Structure 1
Amino acid sequence: MSNQNDFFVIKAKENGVNVIGLTRGSDTRFHHSEKLDKGEVMIAQFTEHTSAVKVRGHAIIQTSYGTINTND
């Protein structure tokens, strides 16, 4: 994402979807995690501390670049 103000949306399609934030810098580390249940939606953005997000489980991820379905 080119702009740190860009938001993305994660919608859980099953219970127990994990969303994990990874730090920015020379050492990439886990710094935050959330567990979503079916139908729950999380709106998030990249920050000066978050450079990547890992999604584990069946979910739909919407960004300004398009929609990604983790079932594919």
Structure 2
Amino acid sequence: MVHCTSSNQTAARLYLDSIAPAGVLDGSRAGNFDVADQGSPIQVPGGSVLICQWTGADNNAVGTMRVQYVVLKQRR
């Protein structure tokens, strides 16, 4: 879920490890409030960093992202 307090409409993009075109995992044109598609989970390699970036926000607006996750362990 993404949320932003901006009075302007925002967009949010989710990146893996760095803000670069190759690292885009997901995004929303409704960055002020949107909920993810629970039926299409994103798998993220261990040790990775998730970065959420909002565009179009007012100065001093606050963006929040909530992540629901499950840790998968490989059996040896």
Same fold? TM cut 0.5 = no
Pair member with larger Rg: 2
Please state which band the TM-score falls in when normalised by the shorter chain: 0.3 to 0.5
